[in-house]
Amino acid sequence: MSANQEVQVQETKKQARTLEGRVTSNKMNKTVTVLVERQVQHWLLGKIIRRSTKLHAQDDIGANEGDVVRIAECRPLSKTKHHRVVEIITRANV
């Protein structure tokens, strides 16, 4: 494979979707639970509603409860875990 073909392969690679959320639990080994909140508009009333999702993420960095982290999608790592902690945005006040 030439260098030109490698560049084309890397450009076509899909970017992982990243989300920001707050760590709610770090009691598992190398796994954190992240609460991701988003705002959606009600389909009929038009009022803005907060919705949340709890995701499990692989934590090699060492995030603690209350930290705001950025997570990215990856291949399935276990039955419920398919995200990785990319960076810690802000640390919790302890």
Q: Report the CATH number that the domain containing residue 74 is assigned in CATH.
A: 2.40.50.140
Range of the structural domain that residue 45 is part of: 15-90
Q: Is residue 55 part of a domain?
A: yes
DSSP 8-state secondary structure symbol assigned to residue 3:
H
Contact between 59 and 10 under an 8 Å Cβ cutoff? The reply is no
| pLDDT for res 34 | 98
Q: Is residue 1 part of a domain?
A: no
> What is the distance between the alpha carbons of residues 75 and 5, in angstroms, rounded to a whole number?
25
| Mode of pairing for the β-strands spanning 48-58 and 81-90 | parallel
Query: How many structural domains compose the chain?
Result: 1
Q: What is the pLDDT of residues 83-93, one digit of tens each?
A: 999 999 999 98
Q: What is the pLDDT of residues 54-89, one digit of tens each?
A: 999 999 999 999 999 999 999 999 999 999 999 999
- Between 14 and 21, name the one with better pLDDT: 21
Q: Is residue 2 part of a domain?
A: no
